[in-house]
């Protein structure tokens, strides 16, 4: 089975954070501005860090455990929403991607 490379078309995104740095291509591929890419990566990195924390939380004998788990779950949901918005929401401006994560992920600036 031979594979054919997709054609590469250079894309230049504005560095203005008030733009939507998301381009959809006919092939189904998506291109992101550097700022949007960074915000998605930083949210994913934080998701990974929190996922590594969860097994340790399960071993704790602490009255505050339900509150801690609820807080981590909320943060994971916010971060996942930021990643989804950054990768697929053609209405959300680059500057608003980190705000979808509650503001704790990357600040979009090119």
Structure confidence by residue, pLDDT tens digits, 70-110: 999 999 999 999 999 999 998 888 888 877 766 554 444 43
Between the two ends of the chain, the Cα-to-Cα distance in Å is 40
List of E strands, 1-110: 22-24, 30-32
Phi then psi for 24, rounded to 5 degrees?
Answer: -100, 140
Domain encompassing residue 42: 36-101
Tally of domains within the chain:
1
Please tell me the pTM assigned to this model. Answer: 0.75
- Read off the pLDDT of each residue in 33-41 and give the average, rounded to a whole number: 91
- Read off the pLDDT of each residue in 26-47 and give the average, rounded to a whole number: 91
Distance (Å, rounded) from C-alpha 71 to C-alpha 75? 6
CA gyration radius for the chain?
17
- Residue 28 inside a domain? The answer is no
Q: Which of 18-22, 44-48, 52-56, 80-84 has the lowest mean pLDDT?
A: 18-22
At residue 32, the 3 state secondary structure works out as: strand
- Residue 41 inside a domain? The answer is yes
């Amino acid at each position: 089975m031979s594979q054919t490379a997709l054609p590469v078309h250079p894309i230049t995104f504005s560095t203005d954070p008030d733009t939507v740095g998301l381009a959809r291509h006919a092939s189904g591929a998506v291109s992101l501005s550097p700022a949007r890419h960074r915000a998605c990566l930083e949210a994913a990195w934080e998701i990974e860090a929190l996922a590594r924390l969860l097994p340790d939380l399960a071993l704790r004998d602490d009255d505050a455990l339900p509150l801690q788990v609820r807080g981590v779950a909320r943060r994971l949901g916010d971060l996942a929403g930021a990643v989804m918005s950054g990768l697929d929401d053609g209405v959300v401006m680059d500057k608003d991607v980190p705000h979808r994560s509650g503001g704790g992920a990357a600040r979009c600036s090119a």
